[in-house]
Every structure is written in structure tokens, then in C-alpha cells.
Amino acid sequence: MRALVVEDEKRLAAGLRNGLEAEGFAVDVALTGTDGLWLAREESYDAIVLDVMLPGVDGFDICSTLRNERVWTPILMLTARDADADQVRALDTGADDYLTKPFSYAVLIARLRALLRRGAAERPAVICAGDLRLDPAARRIWRGEVEVGLTAREFSLLEFLIRHRGEAVSKRTILDHVWDYDFEGDPNIVEVYVRRLRNKLDRPFGKGSLQTLRGSGYRLADDGG
């Protein structure tokens, strides 16, 4: 297994190298964000240990750049202690896990092993169906290059449909996941919301991605329609 360590504190970087090598990893170390991003793009790694505060490009930017370029190498970010915002941002920019400094090597190695078991499957922070893009963390949505404003409920419905793109989903399933499971209002509320989404996301763009399936519910066309 080959790991990249991006950490500007030399002693910590050396410690990480020794700790990972002792576990049988081949380790490359980058002492700046710029070098780290370059290596992560040029070389193939099984895991990346990424500090947040770095000279050049910071850890968040490295992480989101790699994910935007469809590099799915598992990333473990090293965040400052008691910085909840950093931990949230690490995960939202596409990191798989984080550890707060100071940390124990035993825990770091265990976390990395867990990430390696999961592998580098695609898990974009932004989800797409055709030219529809949805950012769940920022709660923003685009059709092509045009950002579209949605209400909270419209957004939840669209997120559910995009996560199940290409599948037939019943009105009941949608009610259970987007409304409360004990929703007892008129189930036709789903149709009302689907119509609103069509008016915002399909009609103005000449698309027909939100399909009604006779008797079985709805489907968001995988190709965006």
C-alpha cells in the first residue's frame, strides 16, 4: 500500500512516515500544499493523509480539487482540535475521515486501514444526473451552468430523486423519505412538488428529466432527459 502524507510540520511529517512505514506502507511526504496536490494528481496512492493548514494550497482546496477531478483516493484529514467547523468542512469537501491533532499513531493506522477496506469507490460530494448538479452540503443546485433556487422541501425531494436516479420510486417511498414517515396529509402533495420541480428545472431548459410512471410513481432520468 502506498500512502501520501501532506504535512508541513517536519517533525510530524517524519513521525507519520516512520509510523506508516512500520506498518508496511510505502510513503511519500509533501511539505507544502502545492507539492501535495501535484503528487496526488501525478501519482497513484491508496490513501492520503492531509493536513488542513499548509503553505501554498490548503488541505480543503486540495481535497475538493481532487474530488472535482474525480480522484477518489481515500483521504484522512488532520484537523485542529476543537475546530468543529474544520471537521465539517473536511467531510463536506470530500474527505473520508478526519483526526484531530494531537492523535495517536495507533488510531491513525486503524482509521487508514478502515478507509483502505472501503477502497476508492466513487463518492462525489456533489451529485449529478445529466447536467443537473446538486451540492448537498451547500444546498445548491444547478442545471448546466445556471443555478436554480429551490425551497427546502423541493430541495429534499430533488436530492432523494437524484440519489435514486434511473430508478422507479413510488409516491409512498417519496412520502416516507422526504416527508415524515407518519405523514397523513394528501399523498398528492408529491405530485404538486414534482410539478414545481419540473417548472423550475425541466421546462425552462427544454428538458423532461422528471418522469411520471403510470401506476408506479416517478423516475429521474439518469441522463437528465
φ, ψ at 61 (rounded to 5°): -65, -40
1, 53, 116, 120: which one contacts Ca ion (CB under 5 A)?
53
> Counting beta carbons within 10 angstroms of the beta carbon of residue 42, is it exposed (0 to 12), middle (13 to 18) or buried (19 or more)?
exposed
- Cα–Cα nearest to 93, from 103, 107, 105, 79: 79
Distance CA 73, CA 15 (A): 22
Using rule CB under 5 A, residue 202 touches Ca ion = no
Q: Smallest distance from the beta carbon of 144 to Ca ion, in angstroms?
A: 38
Stretch that binds Ca ion, among 2-10, 22-30, 120-128, 207-215 (CB under 5 A): 2-10
Say how many CA atoms lie within 13 Å of 193 toward its Cβ.
24
Stretch that binds Ca ion, among 4-12, 68-76, 118-126, 140-148 (CB under 5 A): 4-12
Beta carbons within 10 angstroms of residue 29's beta carbon: 19
Using rule CB under 5 A, residue 8 touches Ca ion = yes
Q: Which is nearer to Ca ion, 7 or 96 (CB)?
A: 7
Q: Summarize the chain as % helix, strand, coil (round to 5).
A: 40, 20, 40
51, 86, 154, 159: which one contacts Ca ion (CB under 5 A)?
51
Q: Which is nearer to Ca ion, 8 or 176 (CB)?
A: 8
Using rule CB under 5 A, residue 35 touches Ca ion = no
Stretch that binds Ca ion, among 7-15, 81-89, 112-120, 183-191 (CB under 5 A): 7-15
159 membership: H or E segment, kind and range: helix 152-163
Query: Which residues within the stretch 159-188 sit at the binding site for Ca ion (CB under 5 A)?
Result: none
Q: Smallest distance from the beta carbon of 36 to Ca ion, in angstroms?
A: 11
Q: Dihedral (C-alpha) 48, 88, 128, 67: value to the nearest 10 degrees?
A: -20
Q: Smallest distance from the beta carbon of 9 to Ca ion, in angstroms?
A: 6
- Which chain residues interact with Ca ion by CB under 5 A? 8, 51, 53
